[in-house]
Amino acid sequence: MSKHGPTAMIAAYIDGQWQQGSTALPSLNPADLRDEVGVFADASKDQVRQAAYAAKAAYKSWAATPAPVRAGMIQNFGRLVEANKEALARVVAREIGKPLREALGSVQEVIDTANFFVSEGRRLYGQTIPSEMPNKECFTYRRPIGVFGCMTACNFPVAVPAWYFIPALVAGNTCVWKPSEEAPLTSYFTTELWARAGLPKGVFNTVFGAGPTTGAAMVELIDEGVFDKIGFTGSTEVGRRIGAACGRALQTPCLELGGKNPMIVCADANIDLAVDGALFSGFGTAGQRCTSLGNLILDEKIHDQFIERLIKRTQTLRIGEPFSAENTYGPMISKRFLDNHLGHLSTLIAAHHELPLGRGGHIGHGVEWAHFDGDAKHGLYARPNIVLNVRMDDAIYSTETFGPLFNVLKSNGIDQAMEMANRHGYGLSSAIYTNDPQTIYKFKTEITAGMSSINNSTTGAEAHLPFGGNGKSGNGGRQSGIWVLDQFTKWHAINWDMSGKLQLAQLDTAYVEPDLNFRIKM
């Protein structure tokens, strides 16, 4: 690809055509803010409305397209992504600072998701159900919901949209996408790949823009009735506002929100394995995952030795250039995320907390890191932080910090550890390290999270497993796997009476009564 992306103030892709806007929305490389990746524009509220009406106009024909044919276009999309895997991953690494290895993995997840759902186009099964009446048949069918509007986050700018749109399209819905303003070039190329997969005009539309402008316009349009389903990946605060708007429209949104993900390490755990899990969960993607480690809960019997090993290992982490295979993580995604991270370090650290790696966060701005190869002057790099002595009544215990920062709590046994894991009210991801089957059983039975790992990290998803959370982490909806089809279809019940007369269920049913006077005599 060229050094720079589009500079034509692209604002939207509507009904098969690119449209321009007027408000500049530059995308900067967070590893070097002098590198302008591309310039886009905010889509106006009218453009969002146009996109929704284009999707509505295309819906009837798309819903009537046989599901295996729709799935064939998903297969085309997957093959196009695979053919462009390296180039697309490099766009992701350059635009949001994700290490190239992780960027390649996130693009692979798109390919895996497409491969999985190609077959689901032949498995949108309903059921044939026996009737209680003679000469009558009953059926159920999955029907598409309609126009699906979706707003996605920047940390997984190709994988998470694929989780939404691939099953939505297979099920027969048409789509309007508002990608993150921090990843417009990635979203531009993703839209181009969808356009070349064979989708008819109007089936897939994209509106670029910031959350407070284009995103807000999309939420306002829920009240106009132009959307039949809304999806959102982002903060719990914004998710609540979207949920309220959908509630007024009597809709159930797909909400994939924040997390404060716990990792319990029991006294019998493999400590080195658990340290590996904590490092990747806490600092992978610079902690900018909804499934990143939030609260590390250590049994008091192994607390001190675990912390000693954790600090030594953390001090060896390499930070810097995203295209270096040696680095654990790159820059923060944007200045907004770096500022939020620095704000948490200044407002959430209490007097009783201990920071064994030192204070401060912005590398090159009063903070140094021994193994750093990035551009500290022009990049948005943050050093790792671990907060010890955290208690459940601390604000940092229940605040999603979304950066290279996690807490450590000390527990006295599994009962207290479970309370620490659940009390904050989030319920996205979780993990435990132990070799005791009874402890594992207690953990997987009592944890409130939607996803759990045993002897593995809090992060990591597979295309055929349900992904999603509960409580402050979401409204119970799930992405990925066959379960996501319940988000994008509605059940239609049919009863077909061939008797030639009116038969009333429950009233005319020929149930046979038992002889209740019969008694067994010995």
Q: Both 123 and 61 in a single domain?
A: yes
Q: Both 92 and 229 in a single domain?
A: yes
Q: What is the pLDDT, as a whole number, of residue 61?
A: 98
Residue from 386, 371, 384, 385 nearest 321 by CA: 371
Cβ(180)–Cβ(187) below 8 Å: yes
Distance CA 426, CA 58 (A): 38
* Inside any domain, residue 324: yes
- Per DSSP, 482 falls in state G
Q: Which domain holds residue 293?
A: 261-467
Q: Both 361 and 233 in a single domain?
A: no
Q: What is the pLDDT, as a whole number, of residue 460?
A: 78
Distance CA 206, CA 192 (A): 10
Cβ(32)–Cβ(375) below 8 Å: yes
Instruction: Write out pLDDT tens, residues 324-335.
Output: 999 999 999 999
Instruction: Write out pLDDT tens, residues 377-432.
Output: 999 999 999 999 999 999 999 999 999 999 999 999 999 999 999 999 999 999 99
For residue 472, count CB atoms less than 10 angstroms from its CB and return exposed for 0-12, middle for 13-18, buried for 19 or more. buried
Distance CA 84, CA 477 (A): 31
Say how many CA atoms lie within 13 Å of 192 toward its Cβ. 10
* Inside any domain, residue 22: no
Cβ(468)–Cβ(450) below 8 Å: yes
Q: Both 401 and 358 in a single domain?
A: yes
* Inside any domain, residue 12: no
Q: Both 68 and 168 in a single domain?
A: yes
Instruction: Write out pLDDT tens, residues 278-302.
Output: 999 999 999 999 999 999 999 999 9
* Inside any domain, residue 509: no
Q: How many CB atoms lie within 10 A of CB 46?
A: 9
Q: What is the pLDDT, as a whole number, of residue 7?
A: 66
Q: What is the pLDDT, as a whole number, of residue 4?
A: 56
The residue ranges of DSSP E strands in 329-452, in sequence order, are 385-387, 405-411, 426-427, 431-433
Bridge partners, 199 (sequence order): none
* Inside any domain, residue 456: yes
* Inside any domain, residue 498: no
- Per DSSP, 215 falls in state I
Q: Which residues have C-beta within 8 Å of that of residue 346, sequence separation ≥ 6?
A: none
Angle at 333 between CA 324 and CA 185, to 5 degrees: 90
Q: Both 192 and 311 in a single domain?
A: no
Cβ(165)–Cβ(112) below 8 Å: no
**Residue type at position 73:** M
* Inside any domain, residue 430: yes
Q: What is the pLDDT, as a whole number, of residue 2?
A: 43
3-state secondary structure 15-52: CCEEEECCCEEEEECCCCCCCEEEEEECCCHHHHHHHH
Domain count, the chain: 2
- Write out residues in the chain with pLDDT < 70, as ranges: 1-7
Q: pTM for the whole thing?
A: 0.94
Cβ(372)–Cβ(320) below 8 Å: yes
Q: What is the pLDDT, as a whole number, of residue 279?
A: 97
Q: Both 86 and 235 in a single domain?
A: yes
Q: Both 410 and 442 in a single domain?
A: yes
For residue 367, count CB atoms less than 10 angstroms from its CB and return exposed for 0-12, middle for 13-18, buried for 19 or more. middle
Q: What is the pLDDT, as a whole number, of residue 5?
A: 63
255: left (phi over 0), alpha (psi -120 to 50) or beta: beta
Residue from 399, 401, 419 nearest 410 by CA: 419
Q: Both 243 and 211 in a single domain?
A: yes
Q: Both 288 and 419 in a single domain?
A: yes
* Inside any domain, residue 315: yes
Q: What is the pLDDT, as a whole number, of residue 1?
A: 40
Q: What is the CATH number of the domain that holds 436?
A: 3.40.309.10
- Per DSSP, 242 falls in state H
The dihedrals phi and psi of 471, each to the nearest 5 degrees, come to 60, -130
Q: What is the pLDDT, as a whole number, of residue 6?
A: 65
The residue ranges of DSSP E strands in 70-192, in sequence order, are 127-130, 136-144, 147-151, 174-178
Q: Both 252 and 290 in a single domain?
A: no
Q: How many CB atoms lie within 10 A of CB 138?
A: 17
The residue ranges of DSSP E strands in 35-97, in sequence order, are 36-41
Q: Both 51 and 81 in a single domain?
A: yes
Q: What is the CATH number of the domain that holds 173?
A: 3.40.605.10
